[in-house]
Amino acid sequence: MKMCSLEAECYILHVMNECSQTTRMPVLLSGVELLRVCTVLQDCAAQLSVLAHIMPDTYRSRPESDKVVSADVGQVLEQQKGALQNLKAARQFERAAGRLSDATRELHRSQKELNRTLEENPLSPDNLAKVQRDSQFVAHVIADVLAELQERGTFHSLFLAVGEEKRRKANLLDIIIRLWSI
C-alpha cells in the first residue's frame, strides 16, 4: 500500500499533533497507524540515503554545475566592472555631482549583489557541508524513530530529538547574543 507523500505527511502530523500533549508518556499507535508511519519513515530514510549518495557527486566536479555558478558569478562580475568604470569616468570628468553619487550608489549596489551571490551559492563547500550534516542528522533521527516504532510501537525518541535540537539552537542563539553584546 503506497500512500501519496503529502497524504502520508499530513497523517503523521495529525497523529503527532494528537499525541503531542503526552510527550512525557510513550505514545502507543494502533497497528494500522504504526504500519503507515513506518512506511513513510522508511520511504524518507531511503530518499535521504539516495540524496546523500548522489548530492556530492552531482555538485562537485561537474562541468554543468560549474558553468551555472560561473555564469551567475560572471554576470555579477561584469556588472561590477561596469559600475567601477562608471565610477572612474565620473571621477575623471566630475561634470556633475549627481553623476558621481549615482555611480557610487551603483558600485555599492553591485558590490552588495556580488557578496550576496557569493554567499548564497548553493554549491559552496560550506553549504554542501551543512546540507550533508543536516541530512545525516535527519537520517539518524528517522532511523531511531523507526527502530522505536518497530520495537515498541511508540515514537517518543522523536520528541526527544526535537527537544534536544531546540536546546542546541537556543544555546547557539544565546552564544550569538552574548557575542553581539560584547
Distance CA(65)–CA(133), nearest Å, equals: 21
Distance CA(51)–CA(135), nearest Å, equals: 9
| Residue 120 dihedral angles phi and psi, to the nearest 5° | -90, 5
Distance CA(36)–CA(10), nearest Å, equals: 11
C-alpha gyration radius of the chain: 25
Nearest C-alpha neighbor of 114 from the set 71, 151, 79, 67: 79
Distance CA(144)–CA(112), nearest Å, equals: 43
What domain range includes position 132? 5-180
**Taking a C-beta distance cutoff of 8 angstroms, is the pair 158, 17 a contact?**
no
Q: How would you write the pLDDT of the chain (182 residues) with one tens digit per residue?
A: 344 455 555 555 555 555 555 555 555 667 777 777 777 777 777 777 777 766 655 555 555 655 655 666 666 666 666 666 665 665 555 544 555 566 666 666 766 776 676 666 666 677 777 778 888 888 888 888 888 888 888 888 888 888 888 898 899 889 989 888 87
- The amino acid present at 81, given as its one-letter code, is K
The confidence score (pLDDT) of residue 151 equals: 87
Residue 135 neighbours by CB under 8 Å, 6+ apart:
48, 51, 52, 55
Distance CA(105)–CA(77), nearest Å, equals: 16
Residue in this structure with the C-alpha cell 499507535, named with its chain if needed = 29
Residue 97 neighbours by CB under 8 Å, 6+ apart:
none
**Taking a C-beta distance cutoff of 8 angstroms, is the pair 87, 104 a contact?**
yes
The total number of structural domains that make up the chain: 1
